[in-house]
Structure formats: C-alpha cells, structure tokens
Amino acid sequence: MAVQVLGVLGNGILDPATPVVRADDAGLTRGDGCFEGCRVRTDTAGHTRVDKLDRHVARMARSCAALDMPFDEAGWRTLVEQACRAWTVAGEAALKLVQTRGPADGGPTGLLTVSPLPPDYPRQRREGLRVVSLARGLSADAFAEAPWLLGGVKTLSYAVNMAAQREAERRGADEAIFVAADGAVLEAPTGSVVWALDGGLHTTPTGDTGILAGTTQQLLFERAADVGWATFETLATVEDLHAAAVVWVISSVRGPVDVIELDGKARSRKPVIDAEVRALCDF
C-alpha cells in the first residue's frame, strides 16, 4: 500500500519519498496524536472528492481538542484540496490525515497521505467477514467521567487494535469485535458494529463505552431513519448479535461489510437488507 500522494500541513504536496517526521516526534515515540481515515472517489475525468469530509474534519477537531492540540481547520482543508487535485486515478482510494504532537521543542506535525485501498477489502466486501469476539477487559462504562482515557478520540495509539486484528487472523477470521468485561459488544478495531433486528438498526452507544463515534454509522442511521428504519443505541451481548438478522462492521474506507461467521458460527447472508444498507452508505 505505497503512499501515492503525500502532503504536509504548511508545506503542501511533496514527493511521497520525502522524510517528514523527526525521530523524536511524540506521534512516533508515544502514539501521541490523532488521525482520520477517509474514502476518496475519483471519476473518469480525474476529479476526486472526499466522502463525508465535513464529518471527518469535525471529528479531527474534536480529537485535537481532547488531546489539547491546536487544529488548523483552514490549513487542513487547503491541504485536502491540494491532495484531491494531485490524485487523478479513477476509482476508490484511502485518504489519511494524521496530526502528531510533534517533538518536545516543536509544534504538531500534520501529514496527509493517499494510498490504494487495502488489498483485502474487495474480497471482504464480496464474501463478507468472519469475525471473532475478543475481550477488551474493561466494563462498558469504564470511560464515564474519565476524559484522560480518551474515549471516543481517534488517537494514533492503535497498537492494541492492530494486535486484536492479528489475533483474529490467527484464529482463522478476518476481523475482531471487542467485548467489554460485562459482556457488552463495543466496536471492531477499525470499525463500528451495526446490526439489524426486528426491523430496526442498532449500534453500541458512544460516551461511557469509550468507542469511536463512526461517521459511516452516523450517516447510515440518518439516512435509514429518513427511509423509515427505526434506529437504536443498544448495549448488546454477543448472543444478541447471534440473534440479529444481519451484523455489519462499518467504516469509511471498507464500507459496511456483513458478518458471515461469528465466533465460528456461520450466519446466512441477507442480500436485500445488506444491499440497502450498503447503498445508504454510498457503497
């Protein structure tokens, strides 16, 4: 997944091979920073636009505020526009915005990259996801009144999330779903969990659970409500997911992908509902 476009806040678009981060940047040494992952789509005339850009910018502003870092919204929007002009390959790609705290004697570093879609995504979208539930080891309300735990903040500290994905792969699955110590379903390492049950769409509440507010899940719920779905924030168990008509893992770049196996139990696919949910998310 080589970076195709590289941008640096304040410096514009650079050769993707340019060294841009100092060795003592706290983003590298401590995972201290935040990021956004967005899908870009380019038409056959080479025009690129970012899906849900305003939602991503708003969430990055919230992440920076939670981390006591400045957020140069105008600078970021300019850099995104420059990257869109630099990327003209028709189809989908992944845009990443990263802001690190920077070195102790400097300010934050802002980086933007455009890369091809991860190679597994087309297959996963086609075939669905095999998922295992993994313990997160905290109660579902562990983040209540503890802002220093950075619940809901899209920090760069994703080593645990990546380890959970590798564990899922070791167990023969594609993806993990985190479960709280009290059995509540939380989220996937890089996606929200949504399920259809009794004619409604459900997802885990944000806030005390510490999960990320997914921009794709939020868009889906707004559009689903417009076309008559009931939508709910529900603390559910893995047993409840087994009883759901469809379970999806949902995120900006991969989109909504239905779960075809949960903890070794096969799930039948529901192509009509699945297609409706994917379409509501622009996938």
Owner of token pair 């939670």: 66
Number of residues that bind ligand PLP (CB under 6 A): 13
Query: Considering the complex, what minimum distance in angstroms separates the CB of residue 250 from ligand PLP?
Result: 6
Residue partners of 85: CB distance under 8 A and separation at least 6: 48
Integer Cα distance of 91 and 29 in angstroms? 35
Query: Considering the complex, what minimum distance in angstroms separates the CB of residue 204 from ligand PLP?
Result: 10
Stretch touching ligand PLP by CB under 6 A, among 85-93, 125-133, 244-252, 272-280:
244-252
Contact between 210 and ligand PLP (CB under 6 A)?
Answer: no
Query: Considering the complex, what minimum distance in angstroms separates the CB of residue 105 from ligand PLP?
Result: 31
Contact between 187 and ligand PLP (CB under 6 A)?
Answer: yes
Integer Cα distance of 248 and 250 in angstroms? 6
Of the two residues 101 and 254, which places its CB atom closer to ligand PLP in the complex? 254
Question: Which residue in 4, 87, 91, 113 sits closest to 41, CA to CA?
Answer: 91
Query: Considering the complex, what minimum distance in angstroms separates the CB of residue 93 from ligand PLP?
Result: 15
Q: Which of 37, 116, 183, 205 binds ligand PLP (CB under 6 A)?
A: 37
Residue partners of 109: CB distance under 8 A and separation at least 6: 8, 9, 20, 21, 22, 25, 27, 98, 99, 100, 102
CB 247 within 8 A of CB 257: no
Q: Is 240 left (phi over 0), alpha (psi -120 to 50) or beta?
A: alpha
Query: Considering the complex, what minimum distance in angstroms separates the CB of residue 94 from ligand PLP?
Result: 10
Query: Considering the complex, what minimum distance in angstroms separates the CB of residue 32 from ligand PLP?
Result: 17
The half-sphere exposure of 38 on its side-chain side, counting CA atoms within 13 A, is 27
The residue type of 175 is: E
Q: Which of 48, 165, 209, 252 binds ligand PLP (CB under 6 A)?
A: 252
Q: Which of 215, 248, 256, 257 binds ligand PLP (CB under 6 A)?
A: 215
Note the residues at the interface with ligand PLP (CB under 6 A).
Answer: 37, 187, 190-192, 212, 214-217, 250-252
